Structure 1
């Protein structure tokens, strides 16, 4: 089963959130609709700016833990390496 690590932002260089899921489209919609109480709802963090696919949830969770331990500037560099304009990537999802 495919699993994803994703980074949401409130805007370019805004508040960041790192998460993991097995259904990226559904999870992004949950964040956008406010169906998930917590950090992303409180801070308006809904723009998908980065994601990675993995073959298993265990791999995805390991990567999530790694990214959560990173400094903010490292995360910014990662995002900008594939998405320099911080565009919302949710439209690229199948």
Structure 2
């Protein structure tokens, strides 16, 4: 089963939160629906700036623990290595997810024809 280790931040990049999830899209939806769960309204953790997809739960948990122990500067360096502008990566994930669903629907329609 795939697992995701991710880092989310607020719009001002003041807070960095490391998380672990099996479904990163639904996790980010949860963060957006419950914006004041961890911080006040000005510090909503709604921007996914980094994620890794791992194939085993043990590897994901180990990576989560490792990243969680990083200092802020180490996390920032890791983020900038793959996302220099700190853009919200959920936009791409949502697009990719919609494309997969569309392809599955098209193939099922072709099968039914």
Q: Judge same fold: TM > 0.5, yes or no.
A: yes
Contact 1:8 1:18 in 2 (8 A): yes
Contact 1:3 1:60 in 2 (8 A): yes
Q: TM-score, normalised by structure 2?
A: 0.75
Q: Which segments of 5 or more consecutive residues in structure 2 lack a partner in the other structure?
A: 98-113
Question: What residue is the counterpart of 2:102 in the other structure?
Answer: none
Q: Which segments of 5 or more consecutive residues in structure 1 lack a partner in the other structure?
A: none
> How many Å separate the matches in 2 of 1:12 and 1:53?
26
Question: What residue is the counterpart of 2:107 in the other structure?
Answer: none
Are 2:17 and 1:47 equivalent residues in the alignment? no
Contact 2:7 2:49 in 1 (8 A): yes
Larger CA Rg, structure 1 vs 2: 2
Structure scoring higher RCO (CA < 8 A, sep ≥ 6) equals: 1
> How many Å separate the matches in 1 of 2:74 and 2:11?
17
Cα shift at 1:79: 0.3
Give the ranges of 4+ consecutive aligned residues of structure 1 lying more than 3 Å apart after TM superposition: none
Question: What residue is the counterpart of 1:24 in the other structure?
Answer: 24
